Amino acid sequence: MMRSLSILYVAYPLLAVTEESAGGAEQMLLTLEREMNARGHRTTVAAAEGSRISGRLLATGAPAGGPDQYEAREREHKRRILEYLRRHPHDFDLIHDKSGSFFREARQCSVPMLATLHLPRGFYPDEWFRDRTQLGGQTNATNPLPGPTLAGRQPAWESRPSLHFNCVSQSQARSFAGCANVIGVVENGIAVERCPFTRDKDGYLLWLGRICEEKAPHLAIAAAQRAGMPLVIAGQVYPFSYHQAYFERAIRPHLDGRQQIRFVDTPLSSQKLHLLSHARALLLTSTVEETSSLVAMEAMACGTPVMAFRRGAFPEIVADAETGFIVDKVEEMASALKEAGRISPETCRAHVEHNFRASRMAQDYEELYRRVLAGAKELAA
């Protein structure tokens, strides 16, 4: 284990970060911060008021209280973090950005920074990672850096070469091939011991996550109906008007009260684990190239097989025909559900214990921290 560090973790700004957070990035931050704190590092999390973390909270304002407040919250979030860093420039050895956007302020920070890229490549503005040669500029021969944004803003890493990025899966890393300062892949991990292993399953299928069109719970409904099995949809509708409109249009009409399609709104973590451990199978129906899936890891740790579309990192996480099935269409998912009973719960659990433990993730991040800090030291020399 490396020497004790003082680390600032920057969270997604919209909502408080707690065990009840619906977002995978928030849950991953909680897990990593808890592991690093337990390993003796001094951890601080910059997040909305009400966040519950293991170390110190740097509160950046109240969570969003209504729809479509992301931009206002993001501005306040960044402003408060930067104000703190200006007042206390020597408080931290390293900043780990988990917010997806704070790294763009790296030029204003005197501290080396690692930014985890949680989202598919297409979710980030292309100009954030565009090579200078694509814009007619010059590329640094020893360290080819992304070029300026279309608005002419100098990218953060051009003036701060101590800013680095990491991906969370091999499929995501391939999509960022050629982007400068991507220094490695650290696959997400979970606290396996918190997932209750259950051999005996109930008859329902489960879809669990953040409810929005790209996650596509409506396709889980279609698969469950085709298979003739009851489905529980559990999750949170985030305070975005287009997410709320999607729920009203595509999900609510199926909640007919006959228990074939049941909705659990914003379940507590204990409810999530109960649902995961007793489900016949978990359905992953995302229509985008997902970079990871904590809920798939948690389901398998509970002994529950996962039925997933062949998108992004899903085939890296689910062992096809061993811990679930990888399919291409709703019809194939419906057929695969009839085979769920032949997936061994013990095999599912062992797969997660071997590949996706939080302790392994923490060790991998310590190695990246060491590399980032060593590089910053060389630059300062």
Domain extent listing, the chain: 6-189+357-380, 192-355
- Is 176 a residue whose pLDDT tops 60? yes
DSSP code for 248: I
pLDDT of residue 85: 97
Sheet with 56-59, strands from edge to edge, namely 56-59, 42-47, 6-10, 94-97, 113-116, 163-167, 182-185
| Residues with Cβ within 8 Å of residue 333, at least 6 apart in sequence | 223, 283, 285, 307, 309, 325, 327
**pLDDT (tens digit per residue) in 64-119:** 888 889 899 999 999 999 999 999 999 999 999 999 999 999 989 999 999 999 99
String of DSSP letters for 61-94: SPPP-STT-HHHHHHHHHHHHHHHHHH-TTS-SE
CB count within 10 Å of CB 350 equals: 16
Identify the CA nearest to 337 among candidates 285, 265, 266: 285
Identical fold between 6-189+357-380 and 192-355: yes
What is the radius of gyration, based on Cα positions, of the chain? 21
Give the integer Cα–Cα distance in Å for 100 and 11: 8
**pLDDT (tens digit per residue) in 115-155:** 999 999 989 887 776 643 333 333 332 222 232 233 344 55
* Sign of the dihedral through C-alpha 297, 303, 304, 308: positive
> What is the pTM assigned to this prediction?
0.88
Give the integer Cα–Cα distance in Å for 174 and 177: 5
pLDDT of residue 313: 98
The answer to whether residues 217 and 261 touch, using CB atoms and an 8 Å cutoff, is no
Class of domain 192-355: alpha beta
Class of domain 6-189+357-380: alpha beta
